[in-house]
Amino acid sequence: MVLIKFAPVLSVLAALAFTISAAHTEEVAAYAITDSTTGFVLESSNGQKKLPVASLTKIATAMVVLDWSASTGSGLDQLATVPASAARLVGGQGGTGLQPGDRASLRDLLYAGLMQSDNVAAETLADFVGRALGGRDAPVDTFVVQMNALARAKGMLRTKFLNPHGLDNLERSVPTSTAEDMAKLTAYAMHDSAFRFYVSQPERKITIISAGGEQSAFLLRNTNELLRVNGIDGVKTGTTAKAGQCVIISAPKDPESRQEGDKHYITPRRINVVVLGATNRFAVAQSLLARGWQDYDSWAAAGRPAKGWKPPR
Express each pLDDT in 201-216 by its tens digit: 999 999 999 999 999 9
Q: What is the pLDDT of residue 23?
A: 46
9, part of any domain:
no
192 is a domain residue: yes
Residue 309 belongs to a domain: no
Asked if pLDDT for residue 5 goes beyond 50, the answer is no
Picking from 188-202, 213-227, 258-272, 297-311, which range would have the lowest pLDDT averaged per residue?
258-272
Across the beta sheet with 263-278, the strand order is 41-45, 30-35, 263-278, 244-260, 234-240
**51, 32 contact by CB (below 8 A):** no
Give the model's confidence band at 92: pLDDT under 50 very low, under 70 low, under 90 confident, else very high. Answer: low
Rounded distance, CA 25 to CA 135, Å?
43
Domain span including residue 97: 18-301
- Whether residue 312 is contained in a domain is answered as no
Q: Is 266 helix (H, G, I), strand (E, B) or coil?
A: strand
Give the CA distances from residue 287 to residues 17, 21, 22, 68, in Å, rounded to whole numbers and listed in that order. 8, 5, 9, 36
Structural domain total, the chain: 1
Residue 160 β-bridge partners: 176
Identify whether 307 is part of a domain. no
Residue 22 above 90 pLDDT?
Answer: no
Kindly report whether the peptide bond that precedes residue 235 is cis, defined as omega within 30 degrees of 0.
yes
pLDDT at 40 over 80: yes
The CATH number linked to 47 is: 3.40.710.10
Residue 124 domain-assigned (yes or no): yes
Residue 7 lies in a domain: no
pLDDT in tens, 93-150: 668 999 999 999 999 999 999 999 999 999 999 999 999 999 888 999 999 999 999 9
Residue 287 lies in a domain: yes
